[in-house]
Each structure stands twice: as C-alpha cells, then as structure tokens.
Structure 1
Amino acid sequence: MAHIDKQLFLSESAVREDGNSRYLRDQLCRIDCFIQRELARMRSIDNDGQTVNGVVLNDADADVLADRTLQRARPSAVSDEKLARIESRMTAGLAPLHQTGALPPLELLVLEFGLSLFERDVLMLLLAPEIEGKYRRLFAYLQDDLTRTTVSFDLIFRLLCRDFEETLTARHSFGKKSPLVRYGLVELERFGDEAYLPFLERSVGVDDAVVDLVLNQYELDNRIRPVADWVDIDQIDAPLTLFSVNTAKNLENVGHAYESHIKGAGNGEQRRGLTCCLIGPSPSVTEAAAAVCRTICVPLLTIDMAVTSGLKQRIDDTLMRAVRDARIFGAALLIRNLDVLFEGRPTWEASYHLSLVNRRLSDFKGMSFWGVKEPLPALQGLPDSLLEVRITAPGFETLKAIWKRELDAASIVSDTISVDELAGRYRFIPSQISTVVGQAKSICIVENGKDEHVDRWMIIESANRLGRRKMGDLACQVNPVFEWSDIILPDDRFAQLLELVDQVHFRQKIIGEWGFHKIFSRGEGLSALFSGPSGTGKTMAAEIVANRLEMDLYKVNLPGIVSKYIGETEKNLERLFQEADQSHGILFFDEADALFGKRTEIKDSHDRYANIEIDYLLQRIEAFDGLVILSTNVRGHLDEAFTRRLRFCIEFPLPGEAQRKRIWQKVFPAQTPVAEDVDFDFLAKQFKFSGGNIKNVALASAFLAARNEGQVTMTYIILAIRREYQKMGKLCTKSDFGRYFSLVPQEGVS
C-alpha cells in the first residue's frame, strides 16, 4: 500500500507541486465536462428558457418534470469526447507514478481508503469551489437557486450518474459504513439547518483536512490539534539508553513482531494491525513508542485522551481523524492516557469507550500503541493479540552516562555537580534530563545575566520544576523554610532524622550498586512515621528533611482524599500517587490516623470497605518509589500491621526543661528587641509548653510590644501566656506564674 512520505510532503518540492498542479488541472477539466454535459441536457429540454429561474413554475416546466424521458435527454457528445481525451491523458500520466509511489494526494486517498471512481469524483466535485470561485456560481445556476452555492446530493447524482440505476447505486457511497463517511472525508452534517430537508436537497461538504492535503498545504486538523502532534523520532535514542534492559529488550521484540506482521500482510493475509499497550508515565510511554517507530522506520502520531476527554468534541471523532491521518502517512498511532476513558467509570461505560477505540482501529493495518499508567482492567472487547510492555527507567549506570552526556553537550562543568547524585535522585528519561539541563542554563541567565557557570543548585531547581505537579484538591506544596538548627530534639531523635536523610541520599548506591534491589520486592521507597503530641515539631521536621534533601514537599489534603462513598477514597489515593510518582517529591500525611486508623471488626459494609482502604494504602505506599512521611498525635491510634511496615518510627516527645529553655532563647528572631528582664530560666521551668505553644506565646508577646512601641518584656510574655492558657482551657494559677502572678489580669484567675 502506497503512503505519503510525511517529511517529503511537508518539505518544499517544486517537482511535487508541479505534478499535483497538472493533476488537479486535469481533474477540474473533467468537472467542467460533467457540468457542460448537464448544461446541454438542461438546455435541450428548456426550449423557452423559463425553467431555470428559481422563481416561476409554468406549464412547460411541469411537463418537463413529469416526463422522465425528457429529464434524461441526450448529453453533449462534445463533452463526452473531451472527457475521454482527458481521462486517457491522466491514465498515461499516472502509470509511471504508480511504480514510484509518488502519486498525487487525491490518488493516494483513493488507494488507501479503497475509494471507487465515483467517490473520487465526488471528492473532486466538492474540492472544485475550494480551488476556483467560479464553481460556486455554476452550482447555483445548476441548482436553480442563486443563493445555493454549495453542492447538494441531487447535483452530485445529476453530474456524475448517467441513469436512474447508477443513481440508486451511488447512494450507497454516503452510508455510515462507506469510506467517504467512515473516515470523515466528507461531512454530511456540516449544514445543520438542513436536517429537515429531503435527502436529495441536503448539502454535502468536504473535510477541511482533505482540502489542505489535496492542495499540498497539510497541517493537523484544527479539531484535533489541541490533542494531537507528530513526534520527531529522529531525536530518540536507542531503547537500551532510554529504559531498563528488560524494557529495551521487550520493545525490540515489539519491533520484530511488527516487521513479521508486515510480511504476513504483504503475502495477502487480511489481518488487523499490531497493538501494543505501554504501561508507565506518559513521557516514558511516548519515548518508548518513538523508539519502536525509529526501529521500524515509520512516523509517529500521538493523541492525548486526557485532553480529549475534557473537550466538547466527541472522542469517536478524535479517534477517526487521528486514525485517518496515520493511515494517510503510513504512521504509527500512539493513544496516550487511554486509561482516562476507563478509570472511575462503570464497567459498561468503560467497555463502551473501549469499543470506540477498537472500532476505529479495526481496519488500521499499522502499528498502534495504547499508553496507560497502570495495566488495563479486564474489560470486554480487549484485543486477543494485545501486547503489553511495562516501561521501567534505565539503571543507575545508564542514567549516570546520560547525565554526563547532556552536561558535556551543554558545556556545563562544575565541581558542585555530581552525576552520581543526579542519577540516584531523579528517575528521569533522557528527554527529561535534556530539558532539565536546558532549563538550568535559563535559570543561570536570570541569576547571572549569562548561561555560564551553571552550578548544582540550578540543576536541582530545574529538576524540581520539571517534576513539580499540580495536585489539585489532593495536596498542596509546602515551601520548606526550617533548617537543622531550628529544631530542638533529644539527641537520639535528631540522629534518627539524619539517618532518614542518609537513606534517601545513598539509596541508589545500596539498592543499585550493592545489590539490595533483590530484597525489595514491593518497592524501593521510604516511609517514616512522626508521632507525638501537637506542637512537638513533627511538621517542622518534615520541612527540614525536605529542605535538606532539596525536594518538594506536598502536604496531603485529607478531606479531599477521604470520601464517604465506597471506593472513592481508593480512587483519590491512586490519583495522588500517580502524580507523586512523577514529582520526585515528598508526600506528607499530617494527622494520618484519619486514614491509617486501626482496622475495625466488620459489622456492616462500611466497616469492610474502610479496612480495604487501609490495605490498599499500605500496598500503594510500599510501591511508591519516593519518600512518604506520616504524622500522628497518638501512635496508638494507628494499625499495628501498618506501623510494622514503616522503615522509620520517630517519637517526638514534649521538650524537657533544658530543651524548653533553648526553644525560648531561639524563638525570638535576632531583630526582635527583647528586654533584659525576660527570665528564660523561669519560663522553661514553670510552663511545660510544647514548641508550638512557645512559638504562639512569642508571636503574641511581640504584637503586644509592637502596639506599645516598646521591647518584648516579661510583662508582655506573661500576658501572652495567659492567652495561651485560655486557648488550652487551663486556669492561671499562682503556682504556675509564681512571682509574676501579679502581672496576670484577675479575670479568670484562680
């Protein structure tokens, strides 16, 4: 089967333009002959010149309309002779082009979609007004209506059919299963206000994309341009440099399977094209499909169903146009994010959407890819021969080589940049690494005025920007501001936090180089539990860890996750982790006992599904390839089976007297005017506050001091402590306030 060479077609080729121009000129001459023949017929039965006026119907007109023999009067012999000469010339000119495959676009449409000669003439008739304006006036004259410049079915049959039998047969070319309609080459519903008219009086149009193609002005159809694009496969590396060894081997096997499939089709076997389901993140899926296409030497067209599902345009219409373009150019088709048609939908609706995809691909003989994040559910209608390849990132050593190659290509040399750190920290595919390096140079221009001296911070910031996700109502990004020096903890707890950071830093060395990946059957991620009373520094510790690791921190919005409807919580969690998988950030579940509470005895269906949510979340955290931090005020509220699976469980106790003194001394910024009468020893000994309470008191006392344009004195601190006691529901007693009790207002004092 001949196809259009996309690169040649889109290039500027004078030879191609001249050849197509001659072809179109001959085709227009044929249309002229059809029109001349019809004019001769009309005039042969219109002796008084009154029938073609569109206003008056006289007796002679009625007689002509009633007499079938008069309506099919003898056509012009001159037009027939001219038509025969043109067709003979065209046949001779097309013969050598059939051998080379360099046919005009319209002829390629005829071959690819199996159009009849009548259907080819229909397309040319509809194209004529797009090429020369005179045809609009002629069509209006032929249809006895000067306001009607479009082509009606009646006009098509009068011009292209010689008798009644041909007309009846020709009507089949406009059925739903006909090539013209099935592949959207013509538009039957283009003129919506004609739906009430009889069939013959309705207008028919040609699709804009067909017009552009035939006139050598091809662009993606405006109706699919927001969701479709061509992939430059020449920029794609070999599979072994893009993915893990196992993934690369599987992709190469897919290429071999397609080549065998093509050989079978070349031997005359009628078979559907090959379909491969690629499982992984969307960027990886695109590169995997492009790598296969580069191997088998075919172009790649992609459509994104995640965008399509949000448009008013029908999904079926998008698929039709994408498959049509892929067939015209002999391209492979990648349907990205196909799973959005299935997830969160009833089985019947998901199966219906799958049937739409299958119907459009049923006679597609090329290579098609389905891009999904997770394996497809067991739905009715899945192809029996569906291939599946799970996309996994390349190994540590390969990633190091890619980072080094991209940094060298960008002439970035810095002692602060370690390819070992970058390869271990980010599981990017090569195109993403290239994007990170390019963006880092842009950051350098903003910071330094030129793209020289790119340092480690710029690379890390660029990588974080690429991975940064929009979590919607599921999580919000937290900007970490705290450092190690800001937190006061017992030495052992402080050491545990350092160990947590080290495990993230050296994870790739241990798992990759030292072979520990063999014992991580459920995943390579980290999980940690921070437990302790409110205000003891759990959230601060999460920010410190994120700051130290230079990673984005996403605080999970539990009200947006937990749903009262059965099954909705799991769906929200899946969405959360799918986004987090691409973010290379840290997930922080604050007050996690709302999700990870103890499993209950099953008394009704809601108890059973609540336990399912816990089990699902345990599995998802273990499969997550990043760091998950959970916090709870009471560790005992969490399910024991859950805490056993966590790598770290760090207890945050209420601070002792010595620690409280350090907190009091550090809580006031250096710029704050603190009076000498502030007794930190007394405050640490008398008030058994958490760090959060102390921060509240310090802030409130600063506002009191600012209002009175003075320093932060002991008086203001005592007044702020009184307010904190009121919030906590405690009485201000003399035993607590001691010698400063007189500073406490007497209302509410015991």
Structure 2
Amino acid sequence: MTDLLNYTWQNENQQDLIQGLAKLQARINEKISRDNPAETVTEQGESIPDLEDSQFALDQLCSTFNLSSFERDILLLCAGAELDEQFLDWLSQLQGIAQKSYPTFGLALKLLDCPHWSALTPESPLRYWRLIELGSGPSFTLSPLRIDESILHYLAGVKTQPLPLEALIGSLDVSVSLMEHDHELIQTLVDTWVGAANGQEFPLVQLCGEDSRSKQAIATTAFASLNLTLHHLDPAQLPSSPHDVHQLLRLWHREAFLKGYALLINCDKLATPLNQNLALIKLIQEISTPVILTSSDRLSIPNRSIINLEVHKPTLTQQSQYWQTHLDSWGIELNGQVQILISQFNLTSTQIQTICSHTLSKNRNELPETITKELWRACRQQARPRMDDLAQRIEIKATWDDLVLPETQMQTLQTMAAHLRQRAKVYENWGFRRKSGRGLGISALFSGPSGTGKTTAAEVLANTLQLDLYKIDLSSVVSKYIGETEKNLRRVFDAAESGGTILLFDEADALFGKRSEVKDSHDRHANIEVSYLLQRMEAYQGLAILTTNLKGALDNAFMRRIRFIVPFNFPDIKQRAEIWRRIFPTETPTQDLDMNKLAKLSISGGNIRNIALNAAFLAAENDESVQMKHILQAAKSEYVKLEKPLLDSEVKGWIAKP
C-alpha cells in the first residue's frame, strides 16, 4: 500500500511541476505579446502565499527556504531547462541567440514578475542554499544559471543525496528488537526534541554505552516517531579544512530542512581523541538540526551544552526476559538453561537477538542439550573481546590430567570453577547479591616460580568452563606516564565486560609491589593504579587471575581483597615423577623410561615439558622410540639454557656403561 501511495504521489507531484512550468511559460509569453517589459526592479519581490499545507515538492521547497515569487520562478526556469528540450528552444527564442539556450539572471529580470536584484546575491536563499549554480559568463547578468542536481530530483519527487554528502553521510538500516526500558529512553528523546521544535534550540544529545546497535535503534525509533529519517556520519571521512566543513554543513542543513533528516555521529571508535579532531568539533558546534552523538564514554564539546543519556546493558532479569522472549518465538524450551547462560555472559539485547536468530534457525529441531551447547558457543563468539595489543588469547588444550598439584590446591581450583558455574543460583536465586558490600567479581592470585603450572591451571579452568582465556602481561600495561596505566587497564576490562572470558594478568609484581608511603606524585599515582585494578577486578563479571613469582612482595591490604590464593610450589621428587608419567602423549613410542630416575632432575614442570618435547624430536630424527639417552641429551640442552650445571647425582644410572 505504501509503495502504491508513493507512486501516486510521485505522479501527482510531477503533474504539479509540469503545470507550474506551463503557467510560467504562459505568463512570460503573455508579457511578451503585450510588449510590456518587466516592472521596475525592486529590492524584494512579493512573497508566496502560505504553502506549508501543500503536499507538492515545489511548494514545500519554497516554504522551507522562504522563496519569493521571483525566486520561485527562477528555480522553475532552471528546472525547465533541464527537463524539457522544447523549453531549451523556447529560451533560445526569448534571447534571440540559438546558442543561448540557458536561463540567465538578465533574462529573469527582464521577463519574470516582481523581479528583485537581491535574488542572486551570495546570501540569497537560491545561492546560499545552493539551489542554483551560477556559471561563468561575460557578466553577472549574462552568466548561465543551473539548478542543483539533487534539488532537480527533489522537485521531480525523487530523494537523492548530493554527491558531496554521499561519501560522508548514509542512511541507517537497523533491525533490533527494543524492550520496555528502551522505549522509556525513546520517549525521553522525543520529549526533548518536541520542546525544541516549539521554539527552543535543538539540544545536542549524547547516547553513552557499549551497545552500538541498540543506540542506533533507539535513535532511529525516536526520530521516526517525529517523522525524521536518521542518517549517520563517519567522522573519519570528514574533511580537515574548516572551509570544507562549513560548506558541508550548509549542504547538510539544506537537505535536512528540506527532507526531514536527523544525524547520528558515531564517536564510538574515533581514530584520534575528540579534543584533537578540530573538524568534528566545528561540525558539532555549528550543526543546528537534531543530532545525536554515540560514544562509550561521555564527551565534552566546547561552547555546546549536551544532554547525556545512558544506554545501560540490561540487568540479569531483563536478559533472562530477552532470552525467554526469543526462545518462545522459536517454540524452544531449555529447562532452566537460560540461567546458566546469563550467569556467565553479560550480553546486550542486540547480541541476544543475533545469537538466537543465527543459532536457532540452524538447530531448532535439535535436542535441548545440543541447542544449549550451540548457544553457549555463539555466546562465546559474541562476547569475545578485541584486546588489540594488550592481551593474547591462549589456545586452550590443558585438562585436569595435565595438572600435578597437591590435593589442597586442586580442591581450590575446583572450588573456583564451582563459583563461576553457580553464580546465578547463589547471587540471584539465593539472594546473596543483596548481602555483598563489594563487587561480585571472582579474583584469584596464583603465586610460585616459573614453570610450576600457573598458566596451565588457568587454561584448565577455561577448558572446564568452556570460556576464553586472555593473558595480559602487566609489565607491558604499566606505563611511566601518569594516567596511562589506568587507561590501558580500562581498555582491557571494558573489552571483556560481555563475559565469557578469563583474564590472566601475568607478572603482577610489576604493579603490585609493596605500596610505600606517599612521598611524591608518582607514589600517589602508583597507589591509584593498584586501587583501580582492585576495583575493576571486584566489579568484573568473570574470573580475573593474577600471577606472581614473588608473593612476599605483595601488599597485605591487596591480599585481603583477593578471593582465592593458590600457591604453586616447586614440585617435590614425587610430584616430578608423576609429571614425567603424564608428559608423553599415549601415541608417543617410549622405551625403558625410568620415571623415578627422571624425577631426580631438580626442575619445574615447565622444564620437564621442554625436555620431553626436545627428546621426542631427537628420537624421531633417529627413527627410534624415546629413550633415556634422548632425554639425557635434551636435559643437557635445557640446563645450559637455565645456566645451571647438570649434576652427576641427577643422572646417575640413566645409561648403563658399556
């Protein structure tokens, strides 16, 4: 029906334009036949009667830019020259020169009613809004006039973007299901702009939050209720010249006033900080149409007041409702498994909608267990953070069988896994969230020498819980520049807030050494950095693990705020023997390996792994099974790397003397 109405309107609009051209020709021909040149040129032509109620493009344009009857006729004259070849011949006849088949200001002054010189000054609507273009000619009055192409299409009933705007500004196509709390925010936006439309200045509105698509959907819906079409601007494409920005703004204002446009400026991923982007600041300061900025954090614009509105992530209850709504729409029942998903993944409504539409369309006929598994996998992919150069995603392979630790440490690790699995039940269903004075993050400290299994334990937890593991080297995050360390830490935690990720902060002693008395600004900021990380760890929705080789160097106040502390001690001879028994895959051919003798090597599990791998390569090169002689050769290389002597007592009896 809408297409039919549009088709009917376009036909009627074009008929109105044709009639307008015909009436203009008739008036001019009548004037010529009376041999009565135009009346005396005046300063300002007659205004056109109120046309706001007219539905046709020409009338709407004249009303929008307050064109006089003379300016309207100039525009029609230029449109006729583009639309009708016979009109061109007629223009040639009027000017008595066959080659002069184009309108000029001189011709308009001579033949049109109510002429006024101000119609073609640089500040007149025709030229200020670039409705017509003034070509080169022997004089001002003899220069050719031409209608702007986008304006010509508009008069013909077709909305197009002018070429300078096409590369910068595009329409938004957002299909996101909005929930009740989103509509409350939409109504706030509508009320804000309705007040501005009643005579106040249009405010600059900023939507803050991490969910870009929800922000776009909220803005699109709000503007649609005001009969405005939302377009978006990519700040990276803005010209740098202030003059070019000014011309772009003028063109945007023309299109927006004429066609009912509003603008969304996406500042979520600015290439440079806003205070360094002078072109964008100038555009935001001078734009006078309804505009929305979207960004993760609040932005400050000099000389422009901003209304800040937060687009929060949905609460756990709201997430549960979103999941249930989408599952019900597919006729799928998961028997309480939704709670498991929301206990680990802190997703937006957009992400939940995307996960359900993609996953359920492929697996709707599978068993609930299979559907839950696929939804979990999709959640991991959606929540997977972009850490850039601050973190490394670890490929997860280790299992509980790869860990050789005392029973106490193994129980602590299993308890940590239970805390992550049962978060929703304990905090939400059993009410412990109300009893918690601090954040609900799960933090842990793994302490011990290198190679004792700290990273492997984190990998085992990630594998058990089917979560991603990201390793962050704190020594590369800490900066000597004040404020940079917090900025780097914020980037890590903000990127991981969707959950599904275990954060492993390596080399924690780079930041968490003994906090000294505050003697200068550097001491003060060092303490601020520690406090900031503790705060973010406590608020983090997942598991954050810190590793250190120097537990004794850590501040006791810091230790009290860590929920789990797991010591990874140097393995004793019994543990080393067990590591050697598990180190070779079942597919590896071995021969006459004595694990008790191998356990005499006073090295960590990481060194044992290196020696076993090197021995396997040596054996494979000789097409032999792995034997004690290969391990001896590999052990010698490892000890050289460790810069320690390989004692005879450690390898005594390994190889029988001939």
Shift of 1:726: 0.6
Deviates more, 1:499-508 or 1:320-329: 320-329
- The one-letter amino acid of 1:170's match is A
Whole-Å separation in 1 of the counterparts to 2:630 and 2:598:
13
Aligned AA for 1:373? S
Q: Name the aligned partner's letter for residue 679 of structure 1.
A: D
Match of 1:335 among 234, 253, 265: 265
For 1:650 and 1:214, the matched residues in 2 are separated by 75
SS of residue paired to 1:653: coil
Task: Give distance in 1, aligned partners of 2:186 and 2:629.
Answer: 74
How far off its partner does 1:308 sit?
Answer: 4.5
Pairing of 1:293-442 with structure 2 (within 5 A): 293=223, 296=225, 298-299=227-228, 301-303=230-232, 305=234, 308=237, 326-330=256-260, 333-337=263-267, 340=270, 344-346=273-275, 349=276, 353-361=280-288, 364=289, 368-377=291-300, 379-383=301-305, 386-413=306-333, 418-441=337-360
Show CA shifts across 1:428-453 (max 9, x none).
333322210122146659xx9x9999
2:584 maps to 1:668:
yes
Within the alignment, does 1:158 sit opposite 2:106 as a pair? yes
- Cα distance, 1:633 vs. partner? 2.4
Equivalent residue for 2:642, pick from 728, 738, 745: 728
Distance, in Å, in 1 between the alignment partners of 2:483 and 2:90 is 64
Give the Cα–Cα distance (whole angstroms) in 2 for the partners of residues 78 and 22 of structure 1.
Answer: 30
2:126 is the alignment partner of 1:214? no
The residue type equivalent to 2:295 in the other structure is V
Match of 2:597 in 1: 682
193, 205, 208: which is aligned to 1:276? 205
Specify the code of the residue in structure 1 equivalent to 2:359: A
Contact 2:52 2:60 in 1 (8 A): no
Alignment of 1:594-613 (within 5 A): 594-599=510-515, 610-613=526-529
Structure 2 residue 61 is the aligned partner of structure 1 residue 109: yes
The offset of 1:374, in angstroms, is: 1.9
Give the counterpart letter for 2:337 in structure 1: S
1:511 is matched with: 427
Aligned-pair CA distance for 1:644: 3.8
1:205 to 1:658, Cα distance in 2 relative to 1, 3 A: farther
Paired letter, 2:312:
T
How far off its partner does 1:114 sit?
3.9
CA distance in 2, matches of 1:617, 1:408: 41
Q: Judge conservation of contact 2:129–2:254 (CA < 8 Å) in 1.
A: yes
Counterpart selection for 2:172 from 230, 233, 243: 230
Distance 2:139 2:456 in 1: 74
For 2:333 and 2:78, locate their aligned partners in 1 and report how far apart those are by CA, in whole Å: 61
Alignment: residue pair count: 644
**TM-score scaled by length of structure 1:** 0.72
Residue in structure 1 matched with residue 118 of structure 2 by the alignment: 169
**CA 1:395 to 1:570, structure 2 compared with 1: closer, same or farther past 3 Å?**
closer
Q: Is the 8 A contact 1:319 1:357 kept in 2?
A: no
How far did 1:227 drift? 5.5
- Aligned-pair distance for 1:627? 3.3
Q: Which runs of 5+ in 2 are unaligned?
A: 39-47
Task: Encode CA deviations 1:567-622: one digit per residue, 9 max, x unaligned.
Answer: 44444444333332346433332223334445566777666655554444444444
Q: Aligned partners of 1:122 and 1:319: how far apart in 2?
A: 25
Q: Measure how far apart 1:727 and its partner are.
A: 0.6
Q: What SS does structure 2 have at the residue aligned with 1:581?
A: coil
Return the letter of the residue paired with 1:708.
N
The one-letter code sitting in structure 2 at the alignment partner of 1:396 is L
Q: Residues of 2 paired with 1:161 and 1:312: CA distance?
A: 37
The code of the aligned residue for 2:646 comes to C
- 1:544 aligned partner: 460
CA distance in 2, matches of 1:394, 1:596: 34
Q: 1:474 aligns with which of 383, 390, 403?
A: 390
| 1:737 Cα deviation after fit | 1.5
**Of 13, 28, 35, which aligns to 1:20?**
13
Distance in 2 between the 1:682 and 1:740 partners? Answer: 7
Contact 1:303–1:322 (8 Å) recurs in 2: no
Give the secondary-structure state (helix, strand or coil) at the position aligned to 1:588: strand
Q: SS in structure 1 opposite 2:418?
A: helix
Q: Deviations over 1:55-106 (max 9, x none)?
A: xxxxxxxxxxxxxxxxxxx96757989xxxxxxxxx9xx99x854x5x1234
Q: Deviation at 1:298?
A: 4.1
- Could you tell me how far apart the structure 2 residues matched to 1:679 and 1:230 are? 69
> 1: CA distance between counterparts of 2:254 and 2:67?
14
- What SS class does the counterpart of residue 397 from structure 2 fall into? coil
Q: Is the 8 A contact 2:509 2:554 kept in 1?
A: yes
Provide the C-alpha distance between the structure 2 equivalents of 1:481 and 1:467, rounded to a whole number of angstroms. 20
How many angstroms apart in 2 are the aligned matches of 1:689 and 1:146?
100
Give RMSD over aligned pairs. 4.6
Give 1:645's match in structure 2, choosing from 529, 550, 561. 561
Distance between the aligned counterparts of 1:497 and 1:353, measured in 2?
51
Quote how far apart the aligned CAs of 1:525 are. Answer: 3.2
Partner of 1:703: 617
Q: Per the alignment, in what secondary structure is the counterpart of residue 389 of structure 1?
A: strand
> TM-score normalised to the size of structure 2?
0.81
- SS at the partner of 1:432? helix
Out of 580-589 and 307-316, give the one that drifted further.
307-316
Q: Call closer, same or farther: CA 1:78–1:469 in 2, change over 3 Å.
A: farther
Q: Work out the percentage of aligned pairs sharing the same amino acid.
A: 31
> In structure 2, do the counterparts of structure 1 residues 740 and 327 end up closer, same or farther at CA, with 3 Å as the change threshold?
same
2:606 matched residue in structure 1: 692
Q: What does residue 42 of structure 2 align with?
A: none
How far off is 1:16 after superposition? 0.6
CA-to-aligned-CA distance 1:679-722 (integer Å, 9 cap, x gap): 111112x1122121111011000000000001001110111111
- After superposition, residues 114-153 of structure 1 pair within 5 angstroms as 114-117=66-69, 119-121=71-73, 123-124=75-76, 127-128=79-80, 131-132=83-84
- Is the alpha carbon distance of 1:729 and 1:331 closer, same or farther for their aligned partners in structure 2, counting shifts above 3 Å? same
The answer for the alignment partner of 2:44 in structure 1 is: none
Pick closer, same or farther for the CA change 1:260–1:206 going to 2, 3 Å: same
For 1:202 and 1:627, the matched residues in 2 are separated by 73
| Equivalent AA in structure 2 for residue 301 of structure 1 | L
Task: Name the SS for the 2:172 alignment partner.
Answer: strand
Indicate which of 697, 701, 716 corresponds to 2:630: 716
Distance 1:207 1:548 in 2: 65
How many angstroms apart in 1 are the aligned matches of 2:558 and 2:647?
A: 43
Distance 1:471 1:502 in 2: 27
Q: 1:667 to 1:608 in 2, by over 3 A?
A: same
Amino acid at match of 1:359: E
Q: Indicate conservation of the 8 Å contact 2:450/2:549, yes or no.
A: yes
d(CA) in 2 for partners of 1:120, 1:730? 94
Structure 1 residues 13 and 168: alpha-carbon distance in aligned structure 2, compared to 1, 3 A threshold:
closer
